[in-house]
Structure 1
Amino acid sequence: MYEFPTSSSSPRIPHIIHQTYKTEAIPMDFQKNVQSFIRFNPNWKYMFWTDETARQFIQAMYPDFLVVWDNYRNNVNKADALRYFVLYEFGGIYADLDFECLRPLDPVTRKYAAIFPLEPFEHSALRYEIPFLLNNAIMMSRPRHPFLKHMIDNLSAFQALWEQLDVAGPCFVTTNFMSYNNFTAGDAYKFRVSSTGQSPYFYKGMMDDTDVNAVYIPNTHFFMNTLATIGFNEKGGIELCLKLSNDSSAILKRGCNELRRRKSRSIENHFRFTYTVHHWSHTYGNNWSKNERKYINISSIVAENMFRNYS
């Protein structure tokens, strides 16, 4: 493992943290997560988006998209789509409320114009048998990045797809990353591996990582190195790996090797270079709608001089 690449230049990604929930009253489960971003990044701006302010923003800034917005089947589609619009408009870092920050994010913002972390390789390999899966739970970008515009322009075409991950979620991001970089699914299986070990397992396209219009894809251990608790779990992955045969795909074999390496690492080594941890709370799942929870207003967590709401 290596430390995240940075430089001594001024930030290329604005120091703004974006987060969202249905209202300003968020579950207290997330209080310590929000506080972690504030504690390690005290000089950053903080923008919080609710269902109401999100729609106001879309109506004011992207009125042509409002029909698509209002006709999304599920609120999670709106939550997914919103993050591309706000990053395109303002730049900064978007993080779901179930992310915890472990150290200052300033170094992350200096070298690259856009950073889209991968989901753990085990997810893409063992769930989908694909080489990589970009996530949309934590993303970073300069404002007006053409990759974000590429996704915004394609949102309406994906609206009617059945799978939620395809409509505006991680599969949507992955598909659009490939089309943005002009390579096919076949190209993705070439497994071009960076010599520095920062971006393994997938073909990245021909654009230099530091280009103002490029998208840098870091190794998962920096931002998203924990496994999902729903849809994929370590036990299920192990059971699948026990059934491997000589005829199993190279993707599955790589996924099982990575799962074994994950289990062999100490906690200290596993999180040695980590900036953020995803706790996989699945806030739009049924477990959140049925259970009674205590809530706290976001304005009581974030200092007034940092907080900025859209209205």
Structure 2
Amino acid sequence: MISCRCLILCLVGIFVLDTIFFHYLIQWGRDSLNRRQIRLAVIDDVELNTDRSDQISSNADVRSRATFWGQFPLTIKGSVGKPTIPKIIHQTWDTEDIPETFHRWIVTWKRLHPDWSYWFWTLKEIRRFVAKEYPEFLNLYDLYTEDIFRSDVMRYLVLYKYGGIYVDLDMEALKPLDIWSHNFNCIVSEETYEHPFVVREADPPANIVNGFIACRPGHPFLKSAIDSLEEFAGFYFGDYLHATGPFFLDAVLERYLIKMQNASHMRSDSVDITIVPPKYFFPTYDPSESDLITGRCFPGAYQLLKEPAKITCKELLKTFLRRTPGVDSYTDHHWVHAYMFHPDWKKKNTKLITEIVPSAITKHV
């Protein structure tokens, strides 16, 4: 009986200590979190709806590729006059028949951007576009083993030619992007920090996402991406993440930043690229990773994490391990991973894109 009581008391004690520690972590996160420790070169708390001056910040301790950014003023001028980035929204799918899953998110783009053009690209239309505008890449385009490679390549080629904003079909618009199109030349976003630091435990991380890219036509960063496609196909031909996808874009970005650092003639407003933190365009993590993230951020396992992951968990604990779009969020990504689904899924409850967005432009060549 005595041993049984001791066991019960021990278990209660462990539970109480764990609860206290969990509470301590939450309070610690509220009081001391410094997210700049896990940023590379980002807009730091920009108030995009006001006319004021802000700065780009960088942290060389975490990601050396951004050390040359330093501090310089960033003026937000509002959305008057001609935009730097054309007001064109680009999206793509295999055909013009869109699965029901995406309908509710697609309509948010035109609803919040009534004066923007909406361009929709099918695989057939993309190939015609490549054949006409980039014939030197047509052979590589045809050699890719899966359509996800072609979808990745499409966004670099189309944005370089026409400019605008590319967004995946599982991206939802939360606020108009006009202010961004008037104040920047090229924008890429970091992935929500839970993915590179907690899920992948990457150090340094590869965390630039290609599900959202906004750029003026002819930007040299996009040219760098296009010129790197053949090289990366040779190294990572069957790996879409590294050959054409987010890890590819991250590597190209690193090269481009080094090039800017070493070439004084490139240091001008027309060729800059703005890297923003996840809170603007990728504020939430993949729900399929929820159990893994929760397990690693919970007391006990938390102590085994690397410092960037600990910092990420500290902030996540402030919201009790949940992540939702905030007041700064302009879009949200829903992490559908459609390329992993059975082909029959794509044929269920479909609508033509012109039924969803009547003004959609579907012919480009």
* TM-score band, normalised by shorter chain: 0.7 to 0.9
After TM superposition, give the deviation of residue 111 of structure 1 in Å. Answer: 1.2
Q: Would you say 1:218 and 2:284 are equivalent positions?
A: no
- Report if aligned partners of 1:125, 1:132 keep a CA contact under 8 Å in 2: no
Q: Which of the residues 53, 61, 64 maps onto 2:133? A: 61
Higher Rg of the two aligned structures: 2
Structure 1 residues 23 and 264 mapped into 2: Cα distance closer, same or farther (>3 Å)?
A: closer
After TM superposition, give the deviation of residue 208 of structure 1 in Å. Answer: 10
Structure 1 residues 235 and 289 mapped into 2: Cα distance closer, same or farther (>3 Å)?
A: same
Higher relative contact order (CA 8 A, sep 6+): 1
After TM superposition, give the deviation of residue 285 of structure 1 in Å. Answer: 1.0
Unmatched tracts of structure 2, length 5 or more: 1-44, 50-75
Cα separation, 2, equivalents of 1:168 and 1:7:
34
- Report if aligned partners of 2:197, 2:308 keep a CA contact under 8 Å in 1: yes
Letter in 1 for 2:257: N
- Report if aligned partners of 1:95, 1:137 keep a CA contact under 8 Å in 2: yes
- Report if aligned partners of 2:99, 2:347 keep a CA contact under 8 Å in 1: no
- Report if aligned partners of 1:102, 1:274 keep a CA contact under 8 Å in 2: yes
- Report if aligned partners of 2:206, 2:247 keep a CA contact under 8 Å in 1: no
2:309 aligns with 252
Q: Which of the residues 284, 307, 310 maps onto 2:361? A: 307
- Report if aligned partners of 2:164, 2:216 keep a CA contact under 8 Å in 1: yes
2:92 aligns with 20
Structure 1 residues 237 and 286 mapped into 2: Cα distance closer, same or farther (>3 Å)?
A: same
Identity %: 32
Cα separation, 2, equivalents of 1:73 and 1:244:
40
After TM superposition, give the deviation of residue 108 of structure 1 in Å. Answer: 1.4
With normalisation by structure 1, the TM-score equals 0.83
Q: Counterpart of 1:294 in 2: which secondary structure?
A: coil
Cα separation, 2, equivalents of 1:31 and 1:277:
15
Q: Counterpart of 1:137 in 2: which secondary structure?
A: strand
Letter in 1 for 2:363: N
With normalisation by structure 2, the TM-score equals 0.72
2:250 aligns with 174
Q: What CA deviation, in whole Å up to 9, does each residue of 1:92-121 have, x standing for no partner?
A: 000111111112111111111001011101
CA RMSD of aligned residues (A): 2.7
Unmatched tracts of structure 1, length 5 or more: 184-202
- Report if aligned partners of 2:283, 2:323 keep a CA contact under 8 Å in 1: no
Letter in 1 for 2:313: C
Cα separation, 2, equivalents of 1:256 and 1:244:
8
Letter in 1 for 2:184: Y
- Report if aligned partners of 1:117, 1:217 keep a CA contact under 8 Å in 2: yes
Q: Which of the residues 204, 216, 239 maps onto 2:295? A: 239
1:109 aligns with 181
- Report if aligned partners of 2:98, 2:346 keep a CA contact under 8 Å in 1: no
Aligned residues: 285
After TM superposition, give the deviation of residue 263 of structure 1 in Å. Answer: 3.5
Query: Which one has a larger percent helix, Structure 1 or Structure 2?
Result: 2
Letter in 1 for 2:228: N
Cα separation, 2, equivalents of 1:206 and 1:122:
36
